């Protein structure tokens, strides 16, 4: 459930330019790149659904601190092969270490709340609330980023938050803690995205991913001995897959954002609801009712309105 800012595009390598000039078939194809970016975004959110599905299955027997430890520990392990490719210095060099740590802490807290929520809520309801994070980013971008928020954007945010409430239908007299965890997850992730925006001019996306994995593993390694539950071979495999799907999802997301503008591919993140509905039915026997579908549709509509509005504003600059 993570997004990464669109990294600034650098100049094309000289060797690539000369090859493209001599062979037109090697020249960049923006239309094809955009299609690849869209496809990779759909693959990325599918990986995140797989990760959360495994977390939901494991949450029946494993405590949340142990799941978060596995999530970031195996994520870090799966990132180690990237060191020879990109170089350790490039992956750990940061110009804003304080904000990188704050960003990592917010991502970890979002993961903790997500795993607490996924134990209690169907996947479709969880994602309906999770998609309020971009709305919260819009809400906080005024005071924190100095961005102007017009009445139409305010209306879209309020409509989307209302849609999330319709999807989960909280009962004030008997409030499910899973709903509170889900909104805490979305809020943590929203602040994480704002800090990501602030530091994106200074550090590349791989730096953030490496710091999050390293910080998450280190922090949870301190706590996990107090919560450790017995682990059999099957559970170890599932925990390894937890980190693998998280790492692959982030890599697919980074690749998508390098190939296509974030404003183009971000609406396709809503295919996560399709993945979640299919997986929820096949594995858990959950089918969303009409209220969950209605609320999710409202959240998606509000998010799409804000995404396309952002794209139009970017074009006018």
In a domain, 38, yes or no: yes
From residue 66, alpha-carbon distances to 235, 249, 308 in Å are 11, 21, 39
Mean pLDDT of the chain: 83
Q: What is the CA angle 149-152-153, rounded to 5? A: 45
In a domain, 6, yes or no: no
Please provide the size of the chain in residues. 317
Model confidence at 179: pLDDT above 70: yes
Kindly report, residue by residue over 223-278, the tens digit of the pLDDT.
999 999 999 999 999 999 999 998 888 778 878 877 877 667 777 888 888 899 99
pLDDT of residue 313: 63
In a domain, 186, yes or no: yes
Cβ neighbors of 17 (< 8 A, separation 6 or more) are none
Model confidence at 20: pLDDT above 60: no
Query: Cβ distance 277 to 119 under 8 Å?
Result: no
Kindly report, residue by residue over 32-89, the tens digit of the pLDDT.
888 888 899 899 889 999 999 999 999 999 999 999 999 999 999 988 988 998 898 8
Model confidence at 112: pLDDT above 70: yes
Q: What phi and psi, each to the nearest 5 degrees, are found at residue 122?
A: -65, 150
In a domain, 16, yes or no: no
Domain ranges, residue 140:
32-316
58-62, 78-82, 165-169, 173-177: which has the highest mean pLDDT? 58-62
In a domain, 18, yes or no: no
Model confidence at 8: pLDDT above 70: no
pLDDT, average across residues 195-201 = 82
Q: What phi and psi, each to the nearest 5 degrees, are found at residue 36?
A: -65, -40
Q: Among candidates 36, 28, 24, which has minimal Cα distance to 9?
A: 28
In a domain, 10, yes or no: no
Q: Among candidates 50, 51, 33, 28, which has minimal Cα distance to 265?
A: 33
From residue 153, alpha-carbon distances to 141, 148, 268 in Å are 11, 10, 20
Q: Is 296 exposed, middle or buried (0-12, 13-18, 19+ CB in 10 A)?
A: buried
In a domain, 84, yes or no: yes
Per the structure, the count of domains in the chain is: 1
SS3 92: helix
In a domain, 5, yes or no: no
Q: 28 or 260, which is more confident?
A: 260
7-16, 205-214, 221-230: which has the highest mean pLDDT? 221-230
CA–CA separation, 105 vs 111, rounded Å?
Answer: 10
CA–CA separation, 44 vs 315, rounded Å?
Answer: 26
């Amino acid at each position: 459930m993570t997004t990464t800012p669109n990294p600034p595009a650098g100049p094309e390598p000289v060797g690539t330019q000369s090859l493209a000039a001599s062979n037109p078939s090697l020249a960049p194809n923006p239309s094809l790149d955009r299609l690849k970016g869209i496809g990779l975004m759909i693959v990325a959110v599918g990986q995140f659904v797989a990760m959360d599905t495994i977390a939901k299955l494991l949450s029946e027997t494993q405590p949340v601190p142990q799941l978060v430890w596995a999530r970031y520990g195996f994520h870090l392990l799966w990132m180690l092969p990237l060191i020879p490719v990109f170089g350790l210095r490039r992956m750990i060099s940061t110009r804003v270490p304080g904000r990188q740590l704050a960003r990592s802490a917010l991502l970890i807290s979002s993961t903790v709340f997500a795993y607490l929520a996924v134990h209690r809520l169907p996947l479709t309801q969880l994602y309906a609330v999770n998609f309020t994070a971009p709305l919260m980013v819009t809400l906080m971008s005024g005071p924190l980023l100095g961005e102007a928020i017009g009445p139409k954007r305010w209306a879209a945010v309020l409509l989307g938050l209302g849609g999330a409430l319709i999807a989960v239908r909280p009962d004030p007299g008997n409030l499910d803690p899973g709903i509170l965890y889900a909104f805490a997850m979305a809020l943590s992730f929203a602040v994480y995205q704002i800090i990501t925006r602030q530091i994106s001019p200074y550090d590349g996306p791989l730096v953030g991913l490496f710091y999050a994995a390293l910080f998450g593993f280190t922090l949870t390694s301190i706590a996990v001995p107090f919560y450790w539950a017995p682990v059999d071979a099957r559970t170890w495999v599932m925990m390894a897959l937890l980190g693998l799907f998280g790492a692959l999802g982030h890599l697919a997301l980074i690749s998508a954002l390098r190939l296509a503008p974030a404003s183009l591919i971000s609406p396709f993140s809503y295919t996560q609801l399709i993945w979640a509905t299919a997986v929820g039915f096949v594995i858990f026997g959950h089918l969303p009712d009409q209220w969950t579908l209605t609320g999710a549709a409202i959240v998606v509509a509000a998010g799409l309105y804000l995404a396309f509005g952002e794209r139009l504003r970017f074009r006018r600059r």
